[in-house]
Amino acid sequence: MRNSLALCAAILAVLPAAAQQAYKAPRLAGTDHPDLNGLWQSITEANWDIQAHAAQPGPPQFGALYAEPAGPGIVEGNEIPYQPWALAKKKENFEKRLTRVNTDGVRLEPLDPEAKCYMPGVPRANYMPFPFQIVEGDKKIIMAYEYASASRLISMDKAEPAPVESYMGWSNGRWDGDTLAVDVTGFNDKTWFDRAGNFHSEALHVVERYTPAAPNLIQYEALIEDPKVFTRPWKMSFPIYRRLDKNAQFLEFKCVPFSEELVYGHLRKKPDK
Amino acid sequence: MLKRLWILTIPILVSAPLAAQKPAAPGKQWRTPWGDPDLQGSWSNATTTPLERPAKYAGREFLTKEEMAAQDKQTAIATDKRDQEGTPQDVNGAYNGFWWERGWSDGRTSLIYDPPDGRIPPMTAEGKARKAEQDRKNQSSEGELGAGPYNGPEDVELYTRCIVRAALPRIPTGYDNNYQIVQSPNSVAILQEQIHETRVIPLDGRAHVNSSVRQWLGDSRGHWEGNTLVVETTNFSDQASFQGATPNMRLVERWTRVADNRIDYRFTVEDPATWSRPWSAAIAWTATGNLYEYACHEDNYGLYGILAGARAQEKEHR
């Protein structure tokens, strides 16, 4: 899989920038809109850390299996403009990612939301190492993510304000030329950007841009605003590739059962002595 | 409001024998821009019509108008009760009319229309034994308080663990019977509000995924037959069973738009290791409003409390 995507990226890399910009995507039949339908996936190391990072070891008992690959980062300029308290909080998140702590007065839980199989939020869902399906109709778009069976419904025909806080946010979309522009609000403060503890508050506002750049490539950009956590808006960007492997299809990754030992293990009945 | 409106429209559906009902003429208003029948929108399959025909209606496919009115009245009363605040009963009573989305009777005595007696066909001996075992494993957490054993999450049912609400096909339940359909030329997406998963159904004629891949919601393939979306689903997991069926159950579902605000949905299930014959049911999908995110596992204080409570109880009795 990685090979076919890498080849695709290599072909793209030799195209002059002007040719990339001039790309006109096929239309969704019967409409004037680009057709983004298909199974897509990004290839970055951002799910471990959205900023530049060197390789890191995993839990030693597993050898090299769960070690972390190095990555150049997807944050433009690499700096995340945290307010001072928030930078300290990010570090605490990472330190306690797998330690049981009581944050809500009830549960003793490790902090890392991915480990707990929580819905990943936006934009993280787009750079997790899992495929996602875009099903684009003429009025709505569904983005279905394998991880945690998370789903987004993007309204293209009527923009409505977010009714309530949620993990995946509330998405209103529009076409800006050939770019799908999605305004996402209504988040809660319970998702992270990565395993490094990068986080946001419920004031998060994400403006996404999906620009078709070649038949099997979408250039993705997200503007991140959260005045409670950051001192200014910041951007991330990365390419999203079409899955070209012959039998590629959207499959399930229902990870709740995988997470139960981590979430509830301390509440199991201890064997009688 | 929507709930009330569709009572008025449902007699059109039931006035003709269901099996004989013809698809509507290719209405231009239900076509996608690329020419496929258009099922897109948000839909609810809520109804109080039971899956199986109650014994008292044996031999009858339809309720009388009076019986239908009486059933709807009973539904309204039963969903609007609320025990006095602060009493132990209030926890359940809090699920009053505001929370329920029971829907109403569709005028029939059962959702099952084949076999004509409206009942699930007899189980094979093998099926009976398996179902008994499955029921034991899936024991409900909603029984008597402290029934348990709640030794770990595996002792609690799949829905309470927020893994799946139920195996496919989806039979209406008390609330959140909501679905969003979005179509593209090559695939159909059905977003199920519970538990926030999307069925992505390829329409391109590809073969099923390898039989070693078993999924909670199976593996679906769709195609158009006239105005009807026909979806065949196989590759079910052995961890979630529909009415005691094996993972080799074959499910065929059909969606046909019959009005601006209604889809005729039918399913047929067959599993020779479980039932003596295939059987089929029809459920109206009626237009509804926005779907919202149903986060479940993320804030599952229920399961946390069940397990924490069981441990506290053990400590007390030590």
Q: Residue A71 is encoded by which pair of tokens? A: 């990555």
Cross-chain residue pair A149–B196, CB shorter than 8 Å: yes
Cross-chain residue pair B188–A260, CB shorter than 8 Å: no
C-beta atoms surrounding A26 within 10 Å: 11
pLDDT at residue number B3: 35
A27-44 confidence digits (pLDDT tens)? 999 999 999 999 999 999
Cross-chain residue pair B307–A268, CB shorter than 8 Å: yes
Question: Among partner residues A118, A153, A249, which is closest to B202 by beta-carbon distance?
Answer: A249
Among B265, B286, B258, which residue's Cα sits nearest to residue B103? B286
Indicate the range of A4-18, A255-269, B69-83, B127-141 predicted with least confidence: A4-18
Distances in Å between the Cα of A74 and the Cα atoms of A112, A194, B11 are: 20, 11, 57
Q: With contacts defined as CB-CB under 8 Å, which chain B residues touch A151?
A: 191, 196-198
Note the pTM of the prediction, 2 decimals.
Answer: 0.90
Contacts of B198 (CB under 8 A, 6+ apart): A133, A135, A142, A144, A149, A151, B189, B190, B191, B192
Contact between residue B215 and residue B235 where contact means Cβ atoms under 8 Å apart: yes
pLDDT in tens, chain B (318 residues): 233 333 333 333 433 334 344 455 554 579 999 999 999 999 999 999 999 999 999 999 999 999 999 999 888 877 666 666 666 666 555 667 777 888 899 999 999 999 999 999 999 999 999 888 767 765 544 444 346 689 999 988 899 999 999 999 999 998 899 999 999 999 999 999 999 999 999 999 999 999 999 999 999 999 999 999 999 999 999 998 899 999 999 999 999 999 999 999 999 999 999 999 999 999 999 999 999 999 999 999 999 999 999 999 988 887
SS (H, E, C) chain A: CHHHHHHHHHHHHCCCHHHHHCCCCCECCCCCCECCCEEEEECCCCCCCCCCECCECCCHHHCCCCCECCECCCECCCCCCECHHHHHHHHHHHHCCCCCEECCCCCEECCCCCCCCCCCCCCHHHHCCCCEEEEECCCEEEEEECECCCEEEEECCCCCCCCCCECCCEEEEEEECCEEEEEEECECCCCECCCCCCECCCCCEEEEEEEEEECCEEEEEEEEECCCCECCCEEEEEEEEECCCCCCCCCCECCHHHHHHHHHHHHCCCCCC
Chain B closest-CA separation from residue A102 CA (Å):
13
Question: Among partner residues A29, A30, A267, which is closest to B311 by beta-carbon distance?
Answer: A267
Chain A closest-CA separation from residue B118 CA (Å):
34
Interface contact A8, partner B, CB < 8 A: no
Between the two ends of chain B, the Cα-to-Cα distance in Å is 54
Q: With contacts defined as CB-CB under 8 Å, which chain B residues touch A125?
A: none
Residue B109: φ, ψ to 5°: -90, -15
